[in-house]
Amino acid sequence: MKIRPLWILALVVPASLIIHLQKSAQVFASDDDQTDTGREISIDCGVTEESQDSNGFHHEADDAEFVESGKIYNVSSDDIYANSQEQVWEQMKTVRSFPEGVRNCYTLKPKNGKCNNYLIRVYMSYGNYDHKNSIPYFHLHLGVNFWEKIKFQNVTDIRRKTVVQLSPTNYIDVCLINVGKGTPFISLLELWPLSNSIYRASSSLLPLGLMTCVNLGMSENLKFIRYAADIYGRSWLNGKIDNSKPIYTSEGINIDVKEYRLPSDVLKTAVRAQNVSSSLYINLTSINFTADNEHYIYLHFFDFEEHSNGEVRSMEITFTDTIREPVTLKHEDVRTLVKKIPKGVILNGISITSTPGSSLPPMINAYEIYRALPQPNTPTHEEDVDAMRNIKHAYNIMRISWQGDPCMPIDYRWAGVTCNYSERIPRVTSLNMSSSKLAGQIVTSFSNLMTLEALDLSNNQLTGEIPESLAELPNLKLLNLTGNNLTGSIPKALRDKSTTGLTLILDGNPGLCQTSSCKAITKKFIKPLVASVASVAVLTTIVYISLMLCRHKRKHHSDSKVMLVKKDDQIRLKNQGFSQAELHRITKDFETEIGEGGFGKVYLGRLKDVTQVAVKLLSKSSQQGFDEFQSEANLLSLIYHKNLVSLVGYCDDGDMRALIYEYMEKGNLRNLLSDNNPNVLKWNERLQIALDAACDSIDLET
Ligand SMILES: *[C@@H]1O[C@H](CO)[C@@H](O)[C@H](O)[C@H]1NC(C)=O
Ligand SMILES: *[C@@H]1O[C@H](CO)[C@@H](O)[C@H](O)[C@H]1NC(C)=O
Ligand SMILES: *[C@@H]1O[C@H](CO)[C@@H](O)[C@H](O)[C@H]1NC(C)=O
């Protein structure tokens, strides 16, 4: 069964809770903050401790959190300084190279998770790190699909590859593929969160590989505009157009830069034609268009020149004889024109002319060209990927092939794993970890591989009991546990299943009770056993559902974790209980009333760490209120979703009952949707809430 968290929420969340969607307003504020901090992950490959470079930029440690294989090297000192003009030259001094295996991957776990837009970039500079003077050639994969070929001309070349992707998975794998022409290596890996509305041309969700990104009209002595000037990590090359005139504005830019968040240096410089009747021509013969790919062109305009009497600048952009677009600009208009160039069309250039009535010459600030990367492979089912990763970590398995996606691409699937490829989404059908030095218990993650038909864990050092949950695998035909140190008796459900098509192989486990006398012993205890199994089952179901609910945002959950134990109609939240006295202090004796909720009044409070909170006090009279109080406390303590307000704590002291929430400064959902409110949710914000909701519950179609 596929559990779809938001649908469940819709079913179980009491109406009163829905108003807590108010949280989304804050989410946008914090998303913005995040993009303001620029890149989220930067790994200086080969440097195994966190570091800061001379520009003050932070780099993560290149360690097992991201990569499990490879060897680190310093590049040859003779070659380092050749690159010292580059912003990233310090990061080019060390590399991680992958002499073993065909596919080696870095795995990134961005905070925003799947269905969000990211810019991912790798840098590679050989620098003769292996003292062999032999430059390798290899491939890059993004997730389960081909991304780029990596070729170098010189030992000191720096290769930079950039892709923008709406990630279909919570984990992003960047893999280096050995194609038999030298050992792959990497120097620097970066990930930047982007707005979800940009670089998403038309209906396509294909990743876009950057081909060129050019700013026009820049001063001669600058080579690039980039981070930190560009908050999205783009590197704008200084470009030229023949017979054009550079123009710039020295005025501060006081406009909404819109989703693309172009750096102000890109907006402030441009080129225009010499006069109204001449045109601009962007020569693209050096761009390697390929007939097999779609391409996407982004043309950026900011018309900072003065226009007299409300004149407009009216232009026509010609891509090919048949692909043309008009662009009309008023003074201070910012515009990005996105054009899809279909497969089979090779562009030689783009010309920009003024249309007959226009009295202003054509102009342009910047352009970008991307290649849409076909995605013939679909990643393995998310539940299988999670289960396989959990199994891998539970037994600390460092097999070289156990990196990236377990089933895809077929040629690189994990050793011992077989998959079913007959549906669009591959699934794991058998797992052979025979003689793999596994020690410890049989973890329950095996039981999450819902389509598993064969599990071979023979000849390991597994201990403990055989988990009954394995019997829940509907298609399991073979369970080979030969040659371990398992103990206890065989779970009844498995014994039953072995009479209906499951082959159970258990010999070579001296401590395991397999005889009929063993069955007789268990019979004596059958009654209490049934009782306890039943309660365990109920408990497991509750824990399972709450885990499913929490799973998506577990990372965020950890810092606002509230554990709840229900006992005799009392609610206990571990470490989160507040006393009456504390509530009086937090709210300054209930000084500021901020509203009236379903079961009582709401007061503003301030915790010791100055976090603002809303304290919902349960009015003493209301029993209906008490039930609501309980269900709200129960539910909120179990889930964390970014569109729901989170519970900070509760008070159940004497005759005072209260829930303490994060305080939502911007008011409730009704306010946010009301036109009278200055902070009314914008359309794109509403869209984003819908997108989050949809993406949490629907598999991404590509
Ligand atoms: C790289 O060079 C640094 C100092 O320059 C040294 O401490 C480090 O051990 C070297 N690393 C390797 C892998 O050779
Ligand atoms: C698992 O692999 C071992 C040896 O590699 C083999 O003997 C065994 O038959 C395999 N099990 C299954 C279920 O294929
Ligand atoms: C079970 O595992 C043992 C040991 O690896 C192997 O010899 C045997 O063939 C396996 N049985 C089946 C049915 O795969």
* Residue 61 β-bridge partners: none
User: How far does the centroid of ligand 2 lie from the alpha carbon of residue 456, in Å?
Assistant: 7
User: How far does the centroid of ligand 2 lie from the alpha carbon of residue 503, in Å?
Assistant: 14
Ligand 3 binding pocket (C-beta < 6 A) is: 434, 456, 458-459, 478, 480, 482-483, 505
Query: Residue whose CA is closest, atom 9 of ligand 1?
Result: 74
Query: Ligand 2: does its nearest atom lie under 6 Å from the Cβ of 482?
Result: no
Ligand nearest to the CA of 95: 1
Query: Ligand 1: does its nearest atom lie under 6 Å from the Cβ of 129?
Result: no
Ligand nearest to the CA of 433: 2
Query: Residue whose CA is closest, atom 12 of ligand 3?
Result: 480
Copy the structure tokens of residue 71: 């060897």
User: How far does the centroid of ligand 1 lie from the alpha carbon of residue 94, in Å?
Assistant: 9
Domain ranges within the chain, ordered by starting residue: 3-15+211-372, 33-195, 382-513, 528-697
User: How far does the centroid of ligand 1 lie from the alpha carbon of residue 74, in Å?
Assistant: 6
Query: Ligand 1: does its nearest atom lie under 6 Å from the Cβ of 73?
Result: yes
Query: Ligand 2: does its nearest atom lie under 6 Å from the Cβ of 433?
Result: no
Task: Among 431, 458, 477, 504, name the best residue to mutate to test ligand 3's pocket (greatest count of ligand atoms within 8 A of Cβ).
Answer: 458
Query: Ligand 1: does its nearest atom lie under 6 Å from the Cβ of 55?
Result: no
User: How far does the centroid of ligand 2 lie from the alpha carbon of residue 447, in Å?
Assistant: 20
Ligand nearest to the CA of 452: 2
Position of tokens 């829940």?
A: 472
Overall CATH class of domain 528-697: alpha beta
Distance from C-alpha of 375 to C-alpha of 409, rounded to nearest angstrom: 11
Contact between 651 and 564 (Cβ < 8 Å): no
Query: Ligand 2: does its nearest atom lie under 6 Å from the Cβ of 540?
Result: no
Task: Kindly give the number of the ligand 3 atom that is closest to the alpha carbon of 454.
Answer: 14
Copy the structure tokens of residue 267: 């907006």
Distance from C-alpha of 370 to C-alpha of 383, rounded to nearest angstrom: 32
User: How far does the centroid of ligand 2 lie from the alpha carbon of residue 432, in Å?
Assistant: 6
Query: Residue whose CA is closest, atom 3 of ligand 1?
Result: 74
Which stretches of the chain drop beneath a pLDDT of 70?
Answer: 1-37, 201-204, 254-258, 515-576, 597-599, 620-646, 665-702
Question: What residues have CB less than 8 Å from 480, skipping those under 6 apart?
Answer: 434, 454, 455, 456, 457, 458, 503, 505
Task: Among 432, 438, 504, name the best residue to mutate to test ligand 2's pocket (greatest count of ligand atoms within 8 A of Cβ).
Answer: 432
Ligand nearest to the CA of 417: 2
User: How far does the centroid of ligand 1 lie from the alpha carbon of residue 191, in Å?
Assistant: 26
User: How far does the centroid of ligand 1 lie from the alpha carbon of residue 39, in Å?
Assistant: 27
Task: Among 432, 480, 481, name the best residue to mutate to test ligand 3's pocket (greatest count of ligand atoms within 8 A of Cβ).
Answer: 480
- Which pLDDT score is estimated for 239? 95
- Which pLDDT score is estimated for 179? 97
Domain 33-195 in CATH: superfamily?
A: Galactose-binding lectin (2.60.120.430)
Distance from C-alpha of 147 to C-alpha of 209, rounded to nearest angstrom: 8
Ligand nearest to the CA of 459: 3
132 to 154, 181, 263, 610: CA distances (angstroms): 13, 14, 42, 59
Query: Residue whose CA is closest, atom 6 of ligand 2?
Result: 434
Query: Ligand 1: does its nearest atom lie under 6 Å from the Cβ of 548?
Result: no
Query: Residue whose CA is closest, atom 4 of ligand 2?
Result: 434
Query: Ligand 1: does its nearest atom lie under 6 Å from the Cβ of 77?
Result: no
- Which pLDDT score is estimated for 686? 65
**DSSP string of 606-617?**
E-TT--EEEEEE
Contact between 7 and 697 (Cβ < 8 Å): yes
User: How far does the centroid of ligand 1 lie from the alpha carbon of residue 100, in Å?
Assistant: 22
- Which pLDDT score is estimated for 203? 55
Query: Ligand 2: does its nearest atom lie under 6 Å from the Cβ of 455?
Result: no
Overall CATH class of domain 382-513: alpha beta
CB neighbour burial string for 358-384, b if at least 16 within 10 angstroms, e if fewer: bebbbbbbbbbbbbbbebebbbbbbbb
Query: Ligand 2: does its nearest atom lie under 6 Å from the Cβ of 130?
Result: no
- Largest separation between any pair of C-alpha atoms in the chain: 101
Query: Residue whose CA is closest, atom 13 of ligand 2?
Result: 456
CATH of span 3-15+211-372:
2.60.120.260
Query: Ligand 1: does its nearest atom lie under 6 Å from the Cβ of 338?
Result: no
Task: Kindly give the number of the ligand 1 atom that is closest to the alpha carbon of 94.
Answer: 1
User: How far does the centroid of ligand 1 lie from the alpha carbon of residue 76, in Å?
Assistant: 11
Ligand nearest to the CA of 484: 3
Q: Residue 92: name the closest of 141, 48, 129, 57 by CA.
A: 129
Q: CATH topology of 33-195 equal to that of 528-697?
A: no
Task: Among 401, 429, 434, name the best residue to mutate to test ligand 2's pocket (greatest count of ligand atoms within 8 A of Cβ).
Answer: 434
Ligand nearest to the CA of 453: 2
Distance from C-alpha of 228 to C-alpha of 230, rounded to nearest angstrom: 5
The amino acid present at 521, given as its one-letter code, is I
Question: What residues have CB less than 8 Å from 526, skipping those under 6 apart?
Answer: none
Ligand nearest to the CA of 460: 3
Q: Kindly tell me the number of DSSP H helices and DSSP E strands found in the chain.
A: 14, 43
Query: Residue whose CA is closest, atom 10 of ligand 1?
Result: 74
